[in-house]
Amino acid sequence: MTVGIPVGLALFLMFCFGALVGLFIGTVATLFSLRAKEASHGE
């Protein structure tokens, strides 16, 4: 039984999931800051 393959696959999936979540959070934060700037300039 090779334990390295499932462990490597799990780490790879965790890395991809973390990257996707980080990208999503970064995109939402950027859109939110842009909307906040537009709102402050609009007033």
Residue 4 pLDDT exceeds 70: yes
pLDDT tens string 15-41: 999 999 999 999 999 999 999 888 887
Residues 6+ apart with CB under 8 A from 23: none
Whether this model's pTM surpasses 0.85:
no
Give the pLDDT confidence score for residue 1 in this predicted structure. Answer: 59
Q: Find the radius of gyration of the CA atoms of the chain.
A: 19
* Res 43 pLDDT > 70: no
DSSP code of 10?
A: H
